[in-house]
């Protein structure tokens, strides 16, 4: 039962059954206008045609370097910034239309940000911050506070000690626990975690990751987990999506993507992870240079200037995101039959 009393909310329960994706994103675009010296108008192609589904009960990890559009994607999913085009289907219902206005969608989908301090109001105690959302949605004050205390206890912060504190009075790990508690206050089904553990120390990070796993099991949550740390993503995710310059380069089950990557970019990302073996240190970097500027992305495949498999065709033809295995899709010409790339596998007979 929902704690939210006002109008009956048809979306607090499952509608479409387990097979229907909880969130289905298609053709998502967001370009930010910038003015370069000389007054020339240009756009940053932050998110440039992204499609993916988030299945019910899974954790979808999103990885990529800075500028790849992973945080912009998260903000678009939350409606914090307006999308240029594309559609969001939440449990089969288009978001932002009459049946599912943003207001009721945002009750179902909550977000936790990287900067635990900036995301809390410095003039509210943590208890007030957690109770704020439910109050706005019509929960009586005392009930909302009681619930906030229960949530604080659930995330491992003793309400007696912590409820009345202000954000600056608690440590970073504790603040992030408060943010997680707040995100759960409206009983959402989907939680977006945007680099939620990246600013924490390793030992605290492990505590928070464990907490996230427990909460997911207890409340039946679905997570979108954005991080640049592949080890963390591998640990927590069921499926992984790799982004590069505003597009999806690979998406699939995390074991497949991270153990047998099909896209050369995923391979390079994995090779860049520092090894923990002093006898077997990394000898050469697989990638040179920085990720290119999303203002003027390369033609064709966006990764081709840094790619080891690049051929002339990669600069001309933009690779589609095609299936290469069960649930595994890759946008690389070298992996797609009939693409014209010399390394492409032979076309399957049935195709």
Partner 1 sequence: MSPPEPAVTLGNLRVAFGKVQVVDGVDLTVERGQAMALIGESGSGKSVTLRAILRLFHEGRSRIEGTILAAGRDVQALSKRQLADFRGGDVSMIFQEPLLAFDPVYTVGQQITEAIRRHEKISKEDARKRALALFERVRIPSPERRLDNYPHEMSGGMRQRAMIALALACHPQVLLADEPTTALDATVQIQVLLLLRELQRDLGLSIIIVTHDLGAAVEVADRIAVMYAGKIVETGTAHQVVLDPHHPYTIGLLRSRAEGALAKGSRLQTIPGSPPDLANRPPGCPFAPRCFLVEERCRQEMPPVGEISPGHKVACWRTDEASAAYRAGPTPVRAAEPVPA
Cβ atoms of 200 and 117 closer than 8 Å: no
From candidates 19, 281, 326, 349, binder to partner 1 by CB under 8 A = 281
- Which has the closest alpha carbon to 248: 23, 84, 25, 3? 25
Minimum Å gap between C-beta 14 and partner 1 is 23
From candidates 48, 194, 205, 267, binder to partner 1 by CB under 8 A = 205
Structure-token match 């504790």, residue found: 174
Buried b (16+ CB within 10 A) or exposed e, 96-128: eeeebeeebbbbbbbbbbbebeebbeeeebbbb
From candidates 6, 39, 142, 288, binder to partner 1 by CB under 8 A = 288
From candidates 29, 32, 117, 235, binder to partner 1 by CB under 8 A = 235
- Which has the closest alpha carbon to 70: 115, 100, 109, 114? 114
What distance in Å separates the CA atoms of residue 233 and residue 239, rounded to the nearest whole number? 9
Total residues binding partner 1 (CB under 8 A): 53
- Which has the closest alpha carbon to 245: 94, 124, 96, 67? 67
Q: Is 277 in the site for partner 1 (CB under 8 A)?
A: yes
Q: Is 296 in the site for partner 1 (CB under 8 A)?
A: no
From candidates 3, 78, 94, 206, binder to partner 1 by CB under 8 A = 206
Q: Is 260 in the site for partner 1 (CB under 8 A)?
A: no
Q: Which of residues 137-176 bind partner 1 (CB under 8 A)?
A: 150, 153-154, 156, 158, 171-174
Minimum Å gap between C-beta 57 and partner 1 is 13
Q: Is 65 in the site for partner 1 (CB under 8 A)?
A: yes
> How many CB atoms neighbour CB 316 within 10 A?
13
Written as six digits, the tokens of 262 are: 């099909």
Interface residue list for partner 1 (CB under 8 A): 65-66, 150, 153-154, 156, 158, 171-174, 201-207, 209-210, 213-214, 228-232, 234-236, 254-255, 268-269, 271-279, 281-282, 284-291
């Amino acid at each position: 039962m929902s704690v939210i009393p006002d109008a009956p909310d048809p979306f607090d329960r499952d509608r479409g059954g387990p097979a229907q994706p909880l969130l289905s994103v298609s053709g998502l675009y967001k370009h930010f206008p910038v003015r370069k010296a000389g007054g020339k108008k240009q756009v940053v192609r932050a998110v440039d045609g992204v499609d993916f589904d988030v299945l019910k009960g899974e954790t979808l990890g999103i990885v990529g370097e800075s500028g790849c559009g992973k945080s912009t994607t998260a903000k678009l999913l939350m409606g914090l910034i307006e999308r240029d085009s594309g559609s969001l289907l939440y449990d089969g219902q288009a978001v932002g239309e009459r049946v599912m206005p943003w207001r009721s969608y945002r009750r179902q989908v909550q977000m936790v940000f990287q900067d635990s301090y900036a995301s809390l109001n410095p003039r509210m105690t943590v208890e007030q911050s957690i109770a704020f959302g439910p109050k706005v949605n019509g929960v009586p004050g005392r009930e909302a506070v009681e619930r906030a205390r229960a949530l604080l206890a659930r995330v491992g912060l003793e309400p007696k000690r912590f409820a009345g504190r202000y954000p600056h009075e608690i440590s970073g790990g504790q603040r992030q626990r408060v943010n997680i508690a707040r995100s759960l206050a409206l009983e959402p089904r989907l939680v977006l975690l945007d680099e939620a553990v990246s600013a924490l120390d390793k030992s605290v990070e492990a505590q928070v990751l464990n907490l996230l796993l427990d909460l997911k099991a207890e409340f039946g949550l679905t997570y979108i987990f954005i991080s640049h740390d592949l080890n963390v993503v591998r640990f927590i995710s069921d499926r992984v999506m790799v982004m590069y310059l505003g597009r999806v380069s690979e998406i699939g089950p995390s074991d497949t993507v991270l153990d047998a990557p099909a896209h050369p970019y995923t391979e390079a990302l994995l090779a860049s992870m520092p090894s923990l073996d002093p006898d077997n240190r990394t000898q050469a970097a697989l990638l040179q240079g920085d990720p290119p500027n999303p203002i003027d992305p390369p033609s064709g495949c966006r990764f081709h200037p840094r790619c080891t498999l690049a051929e002339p065709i990669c600069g001309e033809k933009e690779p589609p995101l095609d299936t290469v295995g069960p649930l595994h899709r890759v946008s690389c010409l070298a992996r797609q039959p009939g693409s014209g790339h010399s390394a492409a596998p032979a076309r399957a007979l049935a195709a």
